[in-house]
A = this chain, B = another copy of it.
Amino acid sequence: MTTKYETLLEKVHQIHDIDKAMGVLSWDRETNMPPKGIRARIDQMTTLRQLSYNLFVSDEMGELIEAAAEEVKEYPYDSNEASLLRYLQRHYANERKLTPEYVKHASEVSGQARPAWVKARAENNFAEFQPWLEQVVELCQDLAEMYGYEDEAYDALLDKYETGMKTADVRSIFAGVKEELVPLRQAVEARNDAVDDSLVHQPFDTEKQKAFVRHITAAVGYDYERGHLGTVVHPFATSFTRDDARITTRWYPDFLNPAVFGGLHESGHAMYEQGTHPDLYRTPLARGTSLGIHESQSRMIENIVGRSRGFWQAHFPKLQEMFPTQLGGHTAEAFYRAVNKAQPSYIRVEADELTYNFHIILRFELEQAMLNGDLLPADLPTAWNDKMKELLGVVPPTDSQGCLQDVHWTRPGFGYFPTYALGNLYAAQFYETAVAQHPEIADEMAQGKTTALLSWLRENIHQHGRKFTPGELVQRVTGQPLSSAAFMRYATVKFSELYGL
């Protein structure tokens, strides 16, 4: 190991520490902070963000990166050193395009837009949030201009979350999904009564829900010795190191799905972080490579595992034992069917596997329209409802259940949403590959076990962290680029059987 690389690594560690400290501040904001603490928290986070930014974009850092890159240029492509340098060169080039003023302003606006959104949503008052949305759209437009793009502005933003992917690729993949998924969704809707989900809509003691969620998240492989389960309004996962990767969920007193599937979902994210290779510690490679790949891990655990027949055959008896009054007279099969009811709904995070992607396509299209100036923030509620009608056939009764439902537009994060749907597609493609390579994975899954699957994920995906771009990773792992084919095969088989199509 040579000197420039070591010097660089020391600086990378320092910046990484600051970024992870911000992560802790952000976790605390959601889990413990009293509402009035927000002003100071914005200041603290803005200061750390500026420090981290200024350290990273310094000329000195640029020179170090170039010198270290020169030193490691003969290293194998997949070595940690070469991978780190590729990441740093790309990230440095991007961050240098920003200005310190932009960084500070964006942190301030995001900090303030968030509580404004919480209030607007609670009071179903879009007007309260509109001025903030206008600022956020402007921040996104500025960001796209600063980053620069060849084909369309949205490319510049998407690349931040799904490095190397183009808006046109996403559009084309989504078009394919739409084409095949619309008829499937319609066929399912025509037989809506075939699946009854009243089982999950009953009163469930929240303390017991918590115990059950701890049980199943541990069962799928989430390591509580290196994790923590928190309670929040908007579930998320976050990690400060592979040895401290946290999950959160929420507890509805009369609906089981949010806690159970939220918990499984976030544990999928956190297991990805827990599985990054220890050698990547304290570097930006020690995390999931892209939001889309990250989402593939959460959707894998939430849906492919958590909404499988084998999973509930294994775990329903325990749930039944905890809730004998509610579930006593029912079978695991009935429960499996209940948690797979597919029907149009208003809330993205509670949507089933069939309709979820439509919620994303809607946001993807509206973001592009706002970014290009074709849609003014003031007109968002109407546009939202029109699209809901078009894609899902339903219209939310309030903006709180419509365009105010997500936190994402409180920050300049356009380009983030499509990665959710990409995650569904990656997940299916990975799973198909895993089973083709190791048929015992499917046998285990039929018994509700995930040991073989998890070790395949660790080996093929988790350990690499951010060494490869999502495009490189999916090619390495599955031998082909991302497509919707595996997902459509998975969904068609599963829902045809469920609904007797």
Contacts and interface: CB of A to CB of B under 8 A. Distances in A.
A244 interface: yes
A47 interface: yes
Interface string A10-27: 000110011011101101
A240 B20 contact: no
A248 to B, nearest CB: 11
B230 A36 contact: no
B37 A226 contact: yes
B282 A37 contact: no
Contacts of A18: 44, 47-48, 51
Contacts of A243: 34, 36-37, 39-40
Nearest to A28: B24
A8 to B, nearest CB: 16
A479 interface: no
A34 B33 CA distance: 19
Interface of A is mostly: helix
A224 interface: yes
Interface residues of A, number: 40
A289 interface: no
A186 interface: no
B21 A44 contact: yes
B32 A228 contact: yes
Contacts of A244: 33-34, 36-37, 40-41
Q: Could you say which of A18, A37, A43, A241 has the most chain B C-beta atoms within 10 Å of its C-beta?
A: A37
A104 to B, nearest CB: 11
Interface string A393-423: 0000000000000000000000000000000
A339 to B, nearest CB: 29
B20 A40 contact: yes
| Interface-central residue, A25, A34, A224, A246, by most chain B CB under 10 Å | A34
A35 interface: yes
A225 interface: yes
Contact of A240 (B21, B37, B230, B246): B37
Contacts of A34: 224-228, 243-244
A224 B134 CA distance: 34
Interface string A275-293: 0000001100000000000
A282 B40 contact: yes
A58 interface: no
A331 interface: no
Contacts of A226: 34, 36-37
Contacts of A228: 32-34
Given A37-B243, A37-B244, A240-B44, A25 B31 contact: no
A51 B50 CA distance: 13
A13 B43 contact: yes
Contacts of A39: 241, 243
A411 to B, nearest CB: 19
Contacts of A241: 37, 39-40
A229 to B, nearest CB: 10
Nearest to A244: B37
Nearest to A246: B32
Interface in A289-337: none
Contacts of A40: 20, 240-241, 243-244, 281-282
Contacts of A36: 225-226, 243-244
A230 B37 contact: no
A13 B44 CA distance: 9
B17 A47 contact: yes
A240 B36 CA distance: 11
A42 to B, nearest CB: 10
Nearest to A19: B44
12 contacts: A13-B43, A14-B47, A14-B51, A21-B22, A21-B48, A24-B24, A27-B28, A32-B228, A37-B243, A37-B244, A40-B241, A44-B240
Closest 8 CB pairs of A and B: A37-B244, A40-B241, A17-B47, A36-B243, A17-B44, A36-B226, A21-B44, A14-B47
Given A18-B51, A40-B243, 5 more contacts: A34-B227, A35-B225, A37-B240, A37-B241, A51-B51
